[in-house]
Amino acid sequence: MSPLNRSLKIKRRSTPISLTPLIDVVFILLIFFLLVSTFEEIRSVEIVPPSAQSDARESTADEQSLTILVQGNDDYLVRAESYSLESLKIFLGEQPDRVIFVKTGPNAPLQAIVSLIDLANTLNLSKVSLVQPEK
Amino acid sequence: MRRLEYRKPRQTEKIDKHILPMTNIIFLMLIFFMIAGQITATDPFAITPSKSISTTHTKPEDGIIHLSKDGEITFQYQAMDAEELKVKVAEYLAEAPGAVLRLKADADYSAVETLFLLAELHEIGVEKISLITQLENSL
């Protein structure tokens, strides 16, 4: 066999591709998604801000209306009687057509307002207005 | 001399074969996090939103106001005070009339102060605002 033929018959050794760099990249991507992803279930509640009109309506409120004073989480005052969220749900459920004005006490957190709005939505109470606090 | 037909595997080939099952698992975890997670912009400060049973989603393109537990305010991720906020929101509404703003406020922040802020926003033309909440299972 001539030297030329012999050289043509020499097979090139295949160079296997290492998987290690691929795994490095995949790990980095995994760490990236672990750090930036959030699993909070974010939703929203629509709120109509208090206005001068709602204040005026509250000041001329009649017996058909109800003013709820939010004092704290699970602490609501209606006509000088204190209610928890559960008892308020029962109370308001018996009076579906009332116009409701929501006032806030100085120590009430925002969560208490949101819970009350949720309660109003659950009971399909459409006439709920936030009253501007006094300065 | 007879040439050997069997070639011993290289050290790297041995290691690569053992890594293959781990690669499978890592890929599966990556796909899980890519699908299950949501990529959102980081809040300028730590805020724990109020819990609510509402299932309404917000639109990420709406303007956003952040309100921390200590009363710090940002609008579109820029820190400002209440007066500057009114100016910036008025400018935002002038550019996009009828736009709905989002408010991400801490659940423990004072309700009175929040309502003051909302009343001031109402004066400059904000008719409705979407308060961002966390999903709660039941009331």
pLDDT, tens digit, 9 for 90 and up, residues B108-137? 999 999 999 999 999 988 888 999 999 886
Q: Residue A19 and residue B19: Cβ atoms within 8 Å?
A: yes
Q: Which helix (H) or strand (E) holds A39?
A: none
Q: Residue B130 and residue A115: Cβ atoms within 8 Å?
A: no
Q: Residue B19 and residue A135: Cβ atoms within 8 Å?
A: no
pLDDT value for A58: 66
pLDDT in tens, A2-61: 555 555 555 555 667 777 888 888 889 888 888 877 667 788 898 889 887 666 666 666
Interface contacts A/B by beta carbons within 8 Å: 177
**Is the C-alpha dihedral spanning B69, A53, A133, A131 positive or negative?**
negative
* In contact, A70 and A112? CB cutoff 8 Å: yes
Q: Which residues of B touch A56 (CB under 8 A)?
A: none
pLDDT value for A26: 87
pLDDT value for A96: 74
Residues in chain B: 139
> What Cα–Cα distance (Å) separates residue B119 from each residue in A47, A106, B64, B112, B115?
11, 16, 17, 10, 6
Those residues with Cβ within 8 angstroms of residue B55's Cβ, 6 or more apart along the chain or in another chain: A43, B135
pLDDT in tens, B4-43: 656 666 655 565 667 788 888 888 988 888 887 766 677 8
Residue of B26, B112, B127 lying closest to A23 (CB–CB): B26
**Residue to substitute from A45, A51, A101, A116, interface B, most B β-carbons within 10 A:** A45
User: Taking 80 as the threshold, does the pLDDT of residue A77 lie above it?
Assistant: yes
Closest CA to A114 of B117, B102, B130, B128: B130
* In contact, A135 and B117? CB cutoff 8 Å: no
* In contact, A111 and A71? CB cutoff 8 Å: no
**Distance spanning both ends of chain B, measured CA to CA:** 85
- CA of A15 vs chain B CAs: smallest distance (Å): 11
pLDDT in tens, B53-90: 988 888 777 889 999 999 999 999 999 999 999 999 99
pLDDT value for B139: 46
* In contact, A108 and B111? CB cutoff 8 Å: yes
